[in-house]
Chain A
Amino acid sequence: METNNSNNMHSNGHGSNEGEIEEMDFSHSDFIEEDLATGLSSKDVKFDTIIGHIEDIVMEEPFQTIQNGFLEKYYKEFEDTEENKFCYTDIHKEYISLIESYLETELKKRLPEFCMLEFSQQLQSRKKELEGEIFEILLTFSDFMAFKEMLLDYKAEKEGNAIDLSGGLTVTPVQDKLNLDGASPFCITGKSLQGP
């Protein structure tokens, strides 16, 4: 019986720095049975750990900061037209490599032994089992239309074109309006009724 796989039990935690691995009591074999029950090999656990870290990374604030910095830098280039400018493609490529290198750097910080090449190979061998929100999120990063939409949304927000419903139910006294504007807010002016 294998007794040399205590790592299996410990590599499951996300992000926490566990430090020294505790001495295990190998005399009773509960943990082996557990492994058999879940059908997880040490490779599975390692893979799941990496995915768990990726999930954490993209939800954390530094990631959002980087993303916002990128949007801020480029949103002015984007226009809400059907036709796309060639520069969008370059900007999208820059975005993809920014995200990729950030993920890699962060993963190496959290898992010093992390190797992107190895992880990429694992991904490819698990092709059929990649399900879940994190994969959808990662796929969105490389989807051009989703990227364009994200920039246009950001731009609309920046330029105040987004529909603001927050003031929708505010009651403004008519009297104040009258004093400020010198005209009743209920007056329909001729301008808007005139045809071309």
Chain B
Amino acid sequence: MGLLTILKKMKQKEKEVRILMLGLDNAGKTTILKKFNGEDIDTISPTLGFNIKTLEHRGFKLNIWDVGGQKSLRSYWRNYFESTDALIWVVDSADRMRLGDCKKELHTLLVEERLAGATLLVFANKQDLPGSLSAPEIREALDLNSIKTHHWLIQDCSAVTGENLLNGMDWVVNDIASRIFTMD
């Protein structure tokens, strides 16, 4: 590890956390990010690279990294694992056809060494769409109960209406805080 990386890790301001938001394409990652930030969500196009936003939430500074989810882009995800405090996995709850793919990609991430310490929040997004699966159904489909390596929670939500987004983020912040900021 180089000098600058060491310094960055050391001086990471207290109450500053890094959150990585991943999921299949069209899951709603960028919409969630923009909704959090109070931005217009009507003109979002598929992400081909990545977005970063820094939000203040309950006295915490959240650096959220949202990386494009198209199949051809997933090999780039690894470049953003470093120093991640929480992984937010976003699921299109109405996309029944791709739940298998969704499960496979998530479980691939969970064995990544650089994500080993990260809190996992699963957003069962698009609850506003008719025919969307409920959070317990998504939990089943993604086999979340088998996860023993990470603290995890599944939260149903709608990025479009904003419903439950803050609940999910509250849990993430609490979980990270109980792990990291009590150790000093």
Contacts and interface: CB of A to CB of B under 8 A. Distances in A.
Nearest to B7: A138
Interface in A71-108: 82-86, 88-90, 96-97, 99-100, 103-104
Contact of A130 (B11, B49, B51): B11
Contacts of B73: 86
B5 to A, nearest CB: 6
Interface in A104-141: 104, 116, 119-120, 123-124, 127, 130, 135, 138-139, 141
Contacts, number: 65
Given A82-B51, A84-B51, A145-B52, A124 B2 contact: no
Taking chain B's interface residues, is the majority helix, strand, or loop, or is none over half, making it mixed? helix
Given A86-B79, A124-B10, A135-B11, A100 B4 contact: yes
Taking chain A's interface residues, is the majority helix, strand, or loop, or is none over half, making it mixed? helix
A31 interface: no
Interface residues of A, number: 29
19 contacts: A82-B51, A83-B48, A84-B49, A84-B50, A84-B51, A85-B48, A86-B76, A89-B50, A89-B80, A120-B6, A123-B6, A123-B7, A124-B6, A130-B10, A139-B7, A141-B4, A142-B7, A143-B8, A144-B52
